[in-house]
Chain A
Amino acid sequence: MSPLASIVSAGMSRFGRREGLYWRELFLEAFKEVIDRCPNLDPKKDIKAIYLGMMSSEYERQGHTGATASTWAGLLPVEAIRTEAACASAGAAVRFGVAMVASGLHDVVLVGGVEKMTHRPTPEVTSFLATADDFHFDQWHGLTFPGFFALMAVAHFNRYGSNEEDLARVAVKNHKNGALNPKAHFQKEITLEEALKSRVVAWPLKLYDCCPITDGASLLLITRPDIARRFTDTPVNIIGQGFACGSILAFEKDFEKVSFESNVEAARQAYLMAKVKPKDIDVAEIHDCFTIAELIEYEDLGFCRKGEGSRMIREGIVELGGKIPINTSGGLKCKGHPVGATGAAQLYEIYLQLTNQAGRRQVRGAEIGLAHNLGGPGASAVVTICSR
């Protein structure tokens, strides 16, 4: 099958605590990189729409995201809207862009996401994030976001014999990768002991099992495949994509199999469309909002059999240099998780990897990459498969 769309340029702001900047300014930082990487692009003439993920307009009390972005980017009067699917908001924006290009309605679109979070006190941020889970039953009984993933972790430990050390190993691996990423929020390694001794947030999850609160933006320039080479000699093609929802109720999850049905279904759609199998993937960015999520996703995305997630991390299969390097960017854990930007930042890393621009974390000869973006209590999953 011919590709759905092509990524011809990409940009990402430095992730971290970005004091003194608001989201529209972070958006411009990523936008400038998109322009600079693509000398053949005439932004005002070529870009036909902006689809921008953002989880909450509460952070800056600034709604009407699309028009704000279009105004600041000097792209008026192009259409622009915000997409929201909690932590999968940028994945949803990419989905929109791909659909627009594949339908023929537009030939060149700017997609991605942004979130500015660190200027608000942690309890406020936590309360904005909590809105991605059901309010009347889950949150009402004191379930926090780490708490939800802790429910999954306890079930996984019980069913498959995984343990807190396996989770700590995921954090250690992602910090090791992130130390090689000059745009990551943290650029330092951590030890297993540090991770295991960090303070408990929602048992069995500790501070080092949780991704940080981060500011950042990431964007991709997406075109119809037949015109991609007008913009670059090295387009990255989107060859498959799936999007699926699971229950918004945390307590309704499958605690027996310990799996997210949204992951499994989105991956099934994407693999089928791309005509590739999990073993064909050379590099993947998957949604490690909490370490247990990454472990479950090894299984849900088919990189190993159900229940064998621990083996993937214990045996180094997912490390740089391993059979399938996962989260070479540092993942959400170390690169950071500006919620609305994450789905695009994952594809930014895949774009770098497939165009041989990932520097010291380059996976040699990577040809097929996968990005997996998850929202809420496993309630929205977007899987995108790319090839060079």
Chain B
Amino acid sequence: MEYPIKLPETTIENFYRKLENGELAAAKCSKCGLTIFPPRPLCPSCYSESLEWVELEREGEVVTYTIIHVAPPDFKPPYIVAVVKLKNNIKIIGILKEDISEVKIGLKVKIEVEGRRGEGWPSHPRIIFTKSNKS
């Protein structure tokens, strides 16, 4: 009996690979239709492995935030970490690059990408929010 090595597509590594190319993606279960963010290789609802990428919209609204003053290495405080809700109710986390005086719950933001994958580990690009021109 053979046990072929399966390479799942909707993994964290692949998510960041796509993000690096400017694509903000979630997994979508082709069996039950659930949109899954962050993506994972097994649908947490129906346990199907039949998952494909679906692109997420690049605009949302701040649901909560904090201003970090005591930061981990590699981060220069103060900076704003925000949770943003997209239209389809999916929430994502990122760094809000705006003046501290500008941030508030309900702020409409655009979603962008910063950085590229490097040599060492860990090395992912980062999700960045900026104020949307539309608001």
Contact code string B1-40 (vs A, CB < 8 Å = 1, else 0) = 0000000000010000000000000000000000000100
Q: Does B93 contact A (CB under 8 A)?
A: yes
Which listed residue, A123, A152, A251, touches B93 by the CB 8 Å rule?
A251
Size class of the contact patch on chain A: 35 or more
- A123-B73, A151-B81 given; A140·B67 CB < 8 A: no
With beta carbons under 8 angstroms apart, the residue of B72, B92, B93 that contacts A144 is: B72
Q: Which residues of A in the span 147-197 have a Cβ within 8 Å of any Cβ on B?
A: 147, 150-155, 158
Chain A's nearest CB lies how many Å from the CB of B35?
14
* Complex contact B75–A142 (CB within 8 A): yes
CB-based nearest A residue for B12: A136
Asked if A142 contacts B69 (CB within 8 A), the reply is no
For the complex formed, measure the closest distance between the CB of A133 and the CB atoms of chain B, giving whole angstroms. Answer: 11
Task: Tell me if A252 counts as interface (CB < 8 A to partner B).
Answer: yes
Closest to A150 in B: B66
Whether B83 pairs with A202 at a CB distance below 8 angstroms is: no
Whole-angstrom distance between the alpha carbons of A136 and B14 in the complex?
12
In the assembled complex, the Cα of A260 lies from the Cα of B133 at a distance in Å of 34
Flag if A141 contacts B64 (CB, 8 Å): no
A-side contacts of B79, CB under 8 Å: 142
**Beta-carbon contact of A203 and B93 below 8 Å:** no
Cβ–Cβ contact B64 & A143, under 8 A = no
A252 lies within 8 A of B69 (CB):
no
For B71, the chain A residues whose CB sits under 8 A away are 142, 144
On whether A251 and B92 interact (CB within 8 A), knowing A151-B83, A155-B63, A199-B69, the answer reads yes
A130 contacts the other chain (Cβ, under 8 Å)?
yes
B95 and A141 form a contact (CB under 8 A): yes
B34 to chain A, nearest CB (A): 14
Taking CB atoms and an 8 Å cut-off, the chain B residues in 73-128 that contact chain A are: 73, 75, 78-79, 81, 83, 91-95, 105, 122, 124, 126-127
A146 to B92, CA, bound (A): 19
**Contact yes or no, B83 A251, CB < 8 A:** yes
Contact: A251 with B91, CB < 8 Å? yes
Q: Which residues of A contact B95 (CB under 8 A)?
A: 141-142
Residues A202 and B93 in contact, CB atoms below 8 Å apart: no
Residues of chain B within 8 A (CB-CB) of A276 are none
Determine the chain B residues whose CB is within 8 A of the CB of A251 once the complex forms.
83, 91-93
- Residues on A with beta carbons closer than 8 Å to the beta carbon of B63: 155, 255-256
Residue A57, interface by CB 8 Å: no
Identify A141's interface contact among B78, B93, B105, CB under 8 A. B93
Interface assignment of B53: CB less than 8 Å from any CB of chain A: no
Q: Is the CB of A143 within 8 A of B81?
A: yes
A127 close to B72 (CB less than 8 A): yes
**A348 to B75 alpha-carbon distance, docked (Å):** 39
Interface membership of B46, Cβ < 8 A:
no
Please, how many angstroms separate the alpha-carbon atoms of A203 and B124 in the complex? 26
Are B105 and A154 in touch, CB under 8 angstroms?
A: yes
Q: Complex: how many Å from CA A146 to CA B67?
A: 10
A137 CB–B CB distance under 8 Å: yes
Q: Contact between A144 and B70 (Cβ–Cβ < 8 Å)? A: yes
A13 to B118, CA, bound (A): 46
| Chain B residues with CB under 8 A of A205 | 66
Known: A142-B75, A142-B81, A144-B70. A155 touches B38 (CB 8 A): no
Q: Complex: how many Å from CA A155 to CA B82?
A: 11
Identify which of residues 117-141 in chain A touch chain B, using a CB-to-CB cut-off of 8 Å.
Answer: 123, 126-127, 130, 135-141
Q: What are 9 inter-chain pairs, A to B, with CB distance below 8 A?
A: A136-B38, A137-B92, A142-B68, A142-B79, A143-B93, A153-B66, A155-B64, A204-B66, A251-B92
Residue numbers of B with Cβ under 8 A of A are 12, 38, 63-73, 75, 78-79, 81, 83, 91-95, 105, 122, 124, 126-127
Residues of chain A having any CB pair with chain B under 8 Å? 123, 126-127, 130, 135-144, 146-147, 150-155, 158, 199-205, 249-252, 255-256
Closest 3 CB pairs of A and B: A150-B66, A251-B93, A203-B67
